[in-house]
Amino acid sequence: MKRAPSRRRALLALVIGPLLCGLLLAGGLTAVWLAAGSPRPAAGAVWMEVTRLGGARHLAGPQQPFFALVLGTGARSDDPSQSPDDPGLADAIHVVGINPALNAATLLDIPRDTEGPTGNKLNSYVVSGGANGLRAEADAVSAVTGVPITFVIRANFPHFQQMVDEIGGIDINIPTAMDDDFSGAHFVPGPIHLDGEHALQFARDRHSFANGDLSRSSNQGLLVLAALQTLQKRGTSAGETVRLIATLGRHVKLDGIGIADLFQVGRLALSFDAANIKNVVLPVGSGGGSNLVKSGDAASLLADFADDGVLQSH
């Protein structure tokens, strides 16, 4: 009876001693572990973390507003002898004003029958200018619009069609019904994906509209904007822009710009929000014969356009 407490003490010592040591050891090891290194989250663990995200972009090339002339001709070939029906008149005439600082641009669509500085239709200077046709056309358009043309891009029918096919087509929202056997355009209003052949039909159709070439010019500007948006959706990395510019370069004739500079302009254009690009038709009225002349509204619009390439009040 008297030895029982002693045995209990020994038993307690055997149980509690190791327990205490274990607790102290665990606490110490935990302290060392936590102090020595950041605990890494286990897979699936949620950690509070603040993230800062930023982007930066710098584009080379022009920093000031500039103007480019985009022409579409009806020539069926680069060789005039192979295109007897159309020597290459510029049936699509667009002056693009680009303002890099504002990330904005304007597409000024000029009806082909607009009278040029010598009284001829504006679409004819590219042909009458011979070997310097692109520069002659640029000078004529510059005289009509009052803006200096930095460079010219020209595509004919087959190259336009091939180019659209090579970039994978264009997504566009057809604004009004089109039903024209001359161009082959038969479209209902709404979104559609156009391949090269159908894009050309859309761009050529003027018989579906009461105001003929004016609506056609507007639609051509719409097609350019749609192409830009389509390309932006597919990706606008530098490498992808190389592919695009190489494709463009294979199918157009350039004046006043080299491929490297065109690449920089392409990067710039692809960075624009389409909402910052206006598409307007030069206001025109009837002139002598079948010529069209600038209407009274044109002067203020062109002044607005010429100062920085962007229409602020139109």
Instruction: Decide: is 52 part of the binding site for another protein (CB under 8 A).
Output: yes
Structure tokens at 196: 């090269």
Type of residue found at 40: R
Is the CB of 36 or the CB of 131 nearer to another protein? 36
The answer to whether the beta carbons of residues 138 and 148 sit under 8 Å apart is no
- Binders of another protein among 60-89, rule CB under 8 A? 60
Instruction: Decide: is 43 part of the binding site for another protein (CB under 8 A).
Output: no
Structure tokens at 109: 């669509």
The secondary structure of residue 61, as a DSSP letter, is S
Residue at token pair 């665990």: 26
**Listed ranges 213-221, 237-245, 274-282, 290-298: which one lies at the site for another protein (CB under 8 A):** 237-245
Instruction: Decide: is 50 part of the binding site for another protein (CB under 8 A).
Output: yes
Kindly state the helix (H) or strand (E) to which residue 236 belongs, with its residue range.
Answer: none
Instruction: Decide: is 313 part of the binding site for another protein (CB under 8 A).
Output: no
Tell me the Cα Rg of the chain: 34
d(CA 85, CA 72): 16
Structure tokens at 89: 């008149």
d(CA 8, CA 20): 18
Contacts of residue 308, defined as CB under 8 A and 6 or more positions apart, other chains included, come to 65, 97, 99, 102
Instruction: Decide: is 9 part of the binding site for another protein (CB under 8 A).
Output: yes
- Shortest approach of another protein to residue 271 CB, angstroms? 6
d(CA 91, CA 160): 13
Contact residue for another protein among 149, 241, 284, 305 (CB under 8 A): 241
Contact residue for another protein among 45, 46, 56, 210 (CB under 8 A): 56
**Listed ranges 48-56, 132-140, 208-216, 302-310: which one lies at the site for another protein (CB under 8 A):** 48-56
Show the binding pattern over residues 166-205: x = contacts another protein (CB under 8 A), - = does not. ----------------------------------------
Instruction: Decide: is 154 part of the binding site for another protein (CB under 8 A).
Output: no
The secondary structure of residue 290, as a DSSP letter, is T
Using CB under 8 A, list all residues that contact another protein.
Answer: 1-3, 5-6, 8-9, 12-13, 16, 19-20, 23-24, 26-28, 30-32, 34-39, 47, 49-60, 234-243, 245-247, 249-250, 258-260, 263-264, 267, 271
